[in-house]
Amino acid sequence: MLYWSLEFTHSMESAMRKKAAILSPLLVLSLAFPLLLSPSLSFAQETAVQGVVTDEAGKPVKDARLTLIDPERGLKFVLKTDKNGKFIKVGIPPATYKVTVESEGFLNLESEARVRFGMRENLEIKLKRPLAVPGKDEDMTAGSDLFKAGKFDEAIERFKKVIDKFPSNYEGYFNLGLSYLKKKEVDQAITALEKAAEINPQSHESLFALGECNFVKGDSEKALESFSRAIAINPESPLAHYNLGLVFYRLGKNEEALAAFEKSIALKPDNASAHYQAGLAAIRLQNFDKALKSFREFLRLEPNAPEAAQVKTMIEELEKQIK
């Protein structure tokens, strides 16, 4: 996979300041209906859903996330598997639920499960891993080399050949999207990256890139959604929080912007750009002490930055306001 986060974030910053999945997912739901016990027993009418999540080899999948939604009543339940891949929810209302199962390194699975009154429904769920493109695939290797050389048109043709051979290949779509983004062909990039995110919903990289595309396109709401989803998957990404702050700042949501920049700084204290943007957001909030502190830290980290003279002027004005 191409590594791109730092390079592509620069394109966003300038606006303000500046692997494979060949097999389709398969969810095996095995419903075991135990005999009704005597009504005199307290658990005879107990309604529950339980089961186990395993991989194709039968090994338990720890910390898999199961979401059960009753679309008719809007009910939603989120479960997590234990170290043995097991889960249980007692007292769940009877209904036919939409079931989504997610776990890092596996393909998302979707199906339905019927939960009946007084029954314990047992779900046996098998997750599949995405199949990787053969490491020596000629087109993938050539496409990656062409991308690094800045020959994006040729790289695009190679990645398209990868997709022709492996139609459900996440990496092919992801790299194709990055190539289009480098050419500033944002709509084509979005199409490819949305497909990548569909194939591998747990990839924060594709969501991050989608956020970049939508930001460049000026669609702040979609950028906000993409960066928020990326952060939900990888909350320790300072760049994702920084870019989220840029979107909030553009939308005029200054408190949220400042919080996002401060989170980015907490994760990466030497991020000078985050200090700069935090200062701008703080000015909008009339928090001059905070702005002053942020701008001073920016100058400490990047004393020779192109904005240094402007920041020094802002510091002088802020000092007058505080006195």
**Whether residue 64 is found in the same domain as residue 212:** no
**Whether residue 117 is found in the same domain as residue 207:** no
Q: State how far the Cα of 174 lies from the Cα of 195, in Å rounded to an integer.
A: 8
Burial class (CB in 10 A: 0-12, 13-18, 19+), 89: middle
**Whether residue 293 is found in the same domain as residue 181:** yes
Instruction: State the CATH number of the domain containing residue 103.
Output: 2.60.40.1120
The span from the first CA to the last CA of the chain, in angstroms, equals 53
**Whether residue 193 is found in the same domain as residue 82:** no
Boundary of a domain, candidates 69, 101, 127: 127
On the question of pLDDT at 118 being above 90, the answer is no
pTM for the model: 0.60
Lowest mean pLDDT among 37-46, 67-76, 155-164: 37-46
Confidence (pLDDT) at 105? 75
Give me the long-range contacts of 178-182 (CB less than 8 A, separation at least 24). 178/2, 178/4, 178/8, 178/147, 178/209, 179/143, 179/147, 179/152, 179/155, 180/152, 180/156, 181/8, 181/209, 181/212, 181/213, 181/216, 182/147, 182/150, 182/152
**Whether residue 154 is found in the same domain as residue 268:** yes
On the question of pLDDT at 323 being above 60, the answer is yes
Q: pLDDT-derived band of residue 213, with 50, 70 and 90 as boundaries?
A: very high
- Number of structural domains in the chain: 2
**Whether residue 290 is found in the same domain as residue 260:** yes
Confidence (pLDDT) at 134? 55
Question: Do 274 and 244 touch, CB atoms closer than 8 A?
Answer: no
**Whether residue 191 is found in the same domain as residue 263:** yes
- The predicted-structure confidence for 28-71, as pLDDT tens digits, reads as follows 333 333 333 333 333 335 789 999 999 888 999 999 999 999 99
On the question of pLDDT at 6 being above 80, the answer is no
